[in-house]
Chain A
């Protein structure tokens, strides 16, 4: 049973455009929702995270939108740049992040110059 479903699998966006990646979860007890960014040959690194007491969190060009009733959250990358080309993983966990993370399958983003 896949607890975190991520879409799309891959995404091509032009430079300056908006990249949107969506995730849906099933376990209503999840209370910590991070996004990780991974460049080729490297391990994933935390990009931004949200807890369900807020509906949106913004850090620079990256925004998480959270819809608790729909059990969905999404990552928006504004003014996408070629340097944003990477694989993005959404994840979810219990206990404010202190339980093990369940990851989505990842989205490979390519930002064309």
Chain B
């Protein structure tokens, strides 16, 4: 357990509404990531952060934005949710000494 908490764990929303997912870590890791997991697609990187206010895009960043105003919190925002964003979202941190990723338990988002 790398002290990662995701919230909410489950959310159902309607198309066009904004959604924010929160990832909170307790161990002061510099690198944080947001992935989405979909059947047949595996894990795909959305955005990642390498420090406070330092973020970069991943493979599937369109339609998503992120913010990191504190080391411990990494927020993923869907400005206007679409049905194609129905997915399970995982936050992860990496341990710099080993490169290992530790994942949270996931947030299941359904966009109707």
Decide if B105 touches A43 in the complex (CB within 8 Å).
Answer: yes
Q: Is the interface of A mostly helix, strand, loop or mixed?
A: mixed
B103 at the interface (CB under 8 A from A): yes
A22 at the interface (CB under 8 A from B): no
Q: Which of B38-46, B63-71, B76-84 contacts A (4 or more CB under 8 A)?
A: B38-46
Residues of B within 8 A of A101 (CB): 45, 101
Bound together, the chains give a CA A97 to CA B43 distance in angstroms of 16
B74 at the interface (CB under 8 A from A): no
Decide if B103 touches A44 in the complex (CB within 8 Å).
Answer: yes
Q: Which of A32, A43, A100 contacts B90 (CB 8 A)?
A: A43
Decide if A43 touches B103 in the complex (CB within 8 Å).
Answer: yes
Decide if B96 touches A89 in the complex (CB within 8 Å).
Answer: no
Identify which of residues 80-112 in chain B touch chain A, using a CB-to-CB cut-off of 8 Å: 90, 92, 94, 96, 98-106
Decide if A43 touches B106 in the complex (CB within 8 Å).
Answer: yes
Of all chain B residues, which has the CB nearest A101? B101
Residues of B within 8 A of A44 (CB): 43, 90, 101, 103
Decide if B42 touches A89 in the complex (CB within 8 Å).
Answer: yes
Bound together, the chains give a CA A93 to CA B92 distance in angstroms of 15
Q: Given A43-B90, A100-B48: A105 and B103 within 8 A (CB)?
A: no
What band does the interface of chain A fall in when counting residues whose beta carbon is under 8 Å from B? 20 to 34
Of all chain A residues, which has the CB nearest B105? A43
Identify which of residues 12-61 in chain A touch chain B, using a CB-to-CB cut-off of 8 Å: 32, 34, 36, 41-46, 49
Residues of B within 8 A of A67 (CB): none
Q: Interface residues, chain A, CB within 8 Å of chain B?
A: 6, 9, 32, 34, 36, 41-46, 49, 89, 93, 96-98, 100-106
Q: Interface residues, chain B, CB within 8 Å of chain A?
A: 33, 40-45, 48, 58, 90, 92, 94, 96, 98-106
10 closest A-B pairs by CB: A97-B99, A43-B103, A105-B42, A103-B43, A106-B42, A103-B42, A46-B100, A44-B103, A43-B90, A98-B99
